A and B are shown apart, each in its own frame.
Chain A
Amino acid sequence: MRLGPRVLCLVFLGGLSVIARPPGVSAEDLGAADLTIRVGRSASVRTSLAPEPAASWRNGTGGALLTFDGTVATANAQPRLRWVLLDGGLDLWRARAFGMRVIAGATHEPGVNTGAGDQLRTQALFTWSARSAGLWLSGAVARPFGATNLGDRWAQGGGIWFHKGSVSVAGTIDRTLTRLREQILERVVYSPIDTVLPRYEAVSHERDVASTEVRLAMNVTQARLEINPTAGLFHVPAHGARGWIRTDASYWVSPRLALAARISSASVSADNSLTDSGLNFTLGARLAPWRKPVGLVPAHQEKTKIEHWEIRREGDGGHLLRIIAPGVRRVDLQADVTDWQVVSLEREDGDSWRVRVEGGPGPHHALVRLDAGPWLLLPDAPTQEDGYRGFVSVLIFE
């Protein structure tokens, strides 16, 4: 079935990291798990055999990984599965900045004219990550099943990444060898008559086609907005070079729900042919039930007018909290030592505010408020999740 230009495509893209939490893997890794549902005209799906590793693996963290990716296309109100991919990965070894990972996956792509129906893929990754940059080397092999004209595929690749502020960039290059099986007619001579009347027979012939792809992927996160532009240049000697772009944008309307948009140009299919032309645009929603608020401790909560604070034990066992906040007219405290009631601090002199609190030795949780604004964390104090999807500062009483 040929999908026309006005075909409505439903694209389900999902990534699920760490479904079973192995020892040593933080629950925070679940922050990467999400499911995106898109509606719109979508470009053909094509994945690299040796794609760049997920951000958490690039950074030297990681753990188990499970990725689901699928597309259902509808044409003439008839839904049809176009693509399903399931990848599972394991962190095999990690020492200091080095890591070794392996990914195995299966792809099901029914009814593709290339015959590339089902495919098993294995990828090994070697990563090195430093302070805010790193590199990886990757090797992969794929074996198609049920394909008549495609043999095994091998890929070697690598890349570098760096991170600066809210921007991270990853550059990748990979080279893929695809074994093509072809039937060609060869002239055969079995008897003298064949020299007079040419006779031909179909003979199987295999040849390797090499392709190279260079990709540059960025991730920019600014408050609620997340933008991921990716550009690629795909080169096959017989077809020349073809460029493509894809940009994903997500706007988090709540910590676990985002509006998702994608714009993508022509893509290249498994048989190296250009399958779609023009720009494609999809719009959808991104659900991240396990996602914690970006950055967890919101930076704005830590950049306040509070210049300095201290907690000091007094002779009678009580504790004095002193806060220096220039230009502030009122400072409130809400803490376990006040039974989470709002208590106003007294102005000592100028910009200094104080309150005396009673509490036993150990950690105590608190938030402060300036000029009846939002409740804030004390800058540079240890923090802790509060069980109500927020954070508290931890004050340690002697």
Chain B
Amino acid sequence: MTRRRVVGFLVVTGISALILLPLGRDVSAGAVDPRLTARLDKSTARAVQSEVDRARTEGLPTEPLVLKALEGAAKGASGRKITTAVRRHANALGVASRALGPATTEAELVAGAGAILAGAAADSLRSLRTARGDSSLVIPLVVISDLLARRVPAREAEEIVVGAWRAGMSTTDLLRLREGIHRDIQDGMEPSAAALRARATTDRSGVRTK
């Protein structure tokens, strides 16, 4: 009798599982962020959501990934490009998270991912954190990303920002330094030369950048 009950229970459980399995898939599809389903085709939305879920399991912020997908949709990018951009962004967030350490704010992670995507080395992020562990790294990371976007060679950009940060330069002065390099580039100077000049200026003012 007991044996019959056990067999019956197993049969019912198996049938229930078979019935519920597809429903389970539907539940998973239903969990896709509504903003994604509203703006992306179904397969892209699912692919993006799986990246979002993966990031969540790794303890990374997920909102920047959803926003990256929405940005792609707004810019008319194909589903494949959107998925690739989101995946790259998620990987960059992971690299930034490992480089910046556990006590990192979401804002720092977003700025760090931007710097990694722009071509900065993870070591530079570590150096920034080590230099002034208690200060927010948002500004130096944004400045590194900006310099790289303006074709300042990675080594120059990182040396300038890390050196200035280590020497105690304020965020206001760091932004001013970026503006100076930007202005020189707009005036036609080679980005690397503009960076060298900025470094020479900061060195002269007493802030050693290397």
Contact = CB atoms under 8 A, between A and B. Distances in A.
B119 A26 contact: yes
Interface string B75-91: 10100010001001100
Contacts of A56: 192
A382 interface: yes
A340 B73 contact: yes
Interface stretch (A103-111, A188-196, A358-366): A358-366
Contact of A362 (B88, B110, B121, B186): B110
A61 B146 contact: no
A292 B190 CA distance: 16
Interface stretch (B7-15, B126-134, B147-155): B147-155
B166 interface: no
Interface string B47-89: 0000000000000000010011011111101000100010011
Q: Name the interface size band of chain A.
A: 35 or more
B125 interface: no
A362 B105 contact: yes
Nearest to B76: A388
A28 B196 contact: no
Contacts of B149: 296-297, 383-385, 391
A365 B155 CA distance: 25
Nearest to A22: B155
B117 A340 contact: no
A2 interface: no
A388 B154 contact: no
B193 A27 contact: no
Nearest to B183: A380
Among B108, B157, B189, residue most surrounded by chain A Cβ atoms (within 10 Å): B189
A387 B68 CA distance: 8
Nearest to A168: B190
Contacts of B110: 362-363
Contacts of A131: 189, 193, 196-197
B151 A129 contact: no
Contacts of A28: 119, 148, 151, 153-154
A11 B183 CA distance: 41
Contacts of A31: 151
A334 B72 CA distance: 12
Contact of B179 (A25, A336, A380, A392): A380
A130 B190 CA distance: 10
A97 interface: yes
Q: For chain B, which range describes its interface: under 10, 10 to 19, 20 to 34, or 35 or more residues?
A: 35 or more
A100 B111 CA distance: 35
Contacts of A385: 117-118, 149
Given A362-B106, A385-B117, A340 B71 contact: yes
A388 B179 contact: no
Interface string A309-353: 000000000000000000000000010100111100000000000
Q: Give the secondary structure class of B's interface.
A: helix
A76 interface: no
A385 B155 CA distance: 18
Contact of A25 (B71, B81, B138, B153): B153
A289 interface: no
A296 B67 contact: no
Of A29, A131, A292, A390, the most chain B CB neighbours within 10 A belong to A131
Contacts of B74: 334, 340-342
The winner among B64, B72, B193 for most chain A CB atoms within 10 A is: B193
Nearest to A24: B155
B202 to A, nearest CB: 13
Given A334-B74, A384-B118, A387-B85, A129 B196 contact: yes
A134 to B, nearest CB: 8
Contacts of B75: 386, 388, 390
B186 A299 contact: yes
A233 interface: no
Contacts of B155: 24-26, 61
Interface string A351-382: 00000000011110100000000000000101
A339 B117 contact: no
Interface centre among A129, A384, A391 (most CB of B within 10 A): A384
Contact of B196 (A97, A165, A380): A97
B178 interface: yes
Contact of B119 (A27, A132, A166): A27
A339 B193 contact: no
B124 to A, nearest CB: 10
Interface in A281-313: 292, 295-297, 299, 302
Given A24-B154, A336-B67, A388-B81, A60 B142 contact: no
Given A28-B151, A360-B106, A165 B188 contact: yes
A54 interface: no
Given A24-B155, A26-B155, A363 B142 contact: yes
A396 B142 contact: yes
Contacts of A341: 74
Interface string A228-252: 0000000000000000000000000
Closest 3 CB pairs of A and B: A362-B107, A26-B154, A24-B155
Given A27-B154, A387-B89, A396-B139, 7 more contacts: A59-B190, A131-B193, A361-B107, A362-B107, A384-B114, A384-B149, A387-B71
Interface of B: 35, 64, 67-68, 70-75, 77, 81, 85, 88-89, 105-108, 110-111, 114, 117-119, 121, 138-139, 142-143, 145-146, 148-158, 175, 178-179, 182, 186, 188-190, 192-193, 196-197
